[in-house]
Amino acid sequence: MSMTGFGQASKVTSEYEVSAEVKTVNNRFLRISTRMPDCVSSLEADVERLVRESVARGTVNINLRIVPVGQAVRYRLESNLLLDYWQSINAVAGSLSISPDALAPGLLSLPGVVSDRLGDQFDPREQWPLIHAVLSGALAAMTQFRKAEGQAMSEGLFELCQEMRRQLEKIKGRATAIVIEHRDKLVQRVSELLTGLNASVMPSDVIRDVSIYADRSDINEEITRLGCHIDQFEKLLADKESQGRRLDFLSQEMVREINTIGSKTADVRAAHAVVEMKLAAERIKEILQNVE
């Protein structure tokens, strides 16, 4: 499930036209921001509970509009409050020796100057079923949007897992050969150095050196763990529930194993495979930033 989505819905009754827009963007946690008329602010907790049924994490922005049907004048100018503001502006302008007109722009945007007449007759509890239906419709549309985008992301993540698996097989095929090649090169180098000298290489010395090298460069455990992480990652991708947090944790574990493999082997072909796995892992982390 993607954390990016958009949905809208509206409904008209004989009394009100209610419309809602829901937008979501990525966030590590769930953050809900609402814009709604003051007269329905008492329903904010109900709105948040409804959102939490559809969204697990991300930033959710909700814009709820309620317009009375057939009402010619929706807003009311609070003239007494406007007069108080104007008197205060005149006093400030006088102390600053400037014209009050310089402070007049934006006067109507001051708090309380223009009020919404909706609150005169609107009962939020009585109208909650209507608001609930509209918000549910917007959330359902948003969820479909997120599912469609999430499906594409899931396919991309699965392909990246397959690429990591292909590169891991290349490294697995080199694990034993790396030690054998080190042994052969060691014997060849020592033999060349001892050419012309009355000395020879003891098999025990070669065995000891190769054993130390094999122990230090043994990546079989890391290969097994990384393979298990990839298997678990793909299982979570197939889960019906979005598993963004678990996928994110597994991606970090995969990166840790890849780095360990890279630090233990100096083989050129294995190093190339490690680079390709790192690129795939970085791409996975980028995609997971927008997975719920």
In 3D, which of 254, 279, 174, 169 has the Cα closest to residue 217? 174
* The predicted structure's pLDDT at residue 200: 63
Distance CA 126, CA 107 (A): 35
* The predicted structure's pLDDT at residue 147: 93
Q: State the Cα angle at 55 between 53 and 56, rounded to 5°.
A: 100
CB 58 within 8 A of CB 28: no
Beta strands 16-25 and 75-77: pairing type?
A: unpaired
Q: What is the DSSP string of 235-270?
A: HHHTSSS--HHHHHHHHHHHHHHHHHHHHH---HHH
pLDDT at residue 184 greater than cutoff 70: no
* The predicted structure's pLDDT at residue 269: 83
pLDDT interval class at 253 (50, 70, 90): very high
* The predicted structure's pLDDT at residue 186: 62
Range in 130-139, 186-195, 215-224 the model is least confident about: 186-195
Q: Which amino acid is at 229?
A: H
pTM of the model: 0.68
Query: Which structure tokens are listed for 70?
Result: 């057939």
DSSP lists the bridge partners of residue 35 as 63
Average pLDDT of the segment spanning 223-234:
94
Bigger pLDDT: 214 vs 185: 185
Distance CA 93, CA 167 (A): 74
pLDDT at residue 274 greater than cutoff 90: yes
* The predicted structure's pLDDT at residue 187: 61
pLDDT in tens, 30-41: 999 999 887 888
* The predicted structure's pLDDT at residue 207: 66
63: three-class secondary structure by DSSP: strand
pLDDT in tens, 33-76: 999 887 888 899 999 999 999 999 899 999 999 888 765 556 66
How is the chain split among helix, strand and coil, in percent rounded to 5?
65, 15, 20
pLDDT in tens, 111-165: 776 666 565 577 888 889 999 999 999 999 999 999 999 999 999 999 999 999 9
pLDDT in tens, 9-19: 999 988 888 99
Domains of the chain and any CATH numbers: 5-73+118-147 (3.30.230), 79-112 (no CATH), 151-288 (1.20.120)
- Residue indicated by tokens 């918000």: 135
* The predicted structure's pLDDT at residue 277: 96
- Residue indicated by tokens 């982390």: 285
H helix runs in the chain, sequence order: 44-52, 79-96, 124-193, 203-216, 220-237, 244-264, 268-288
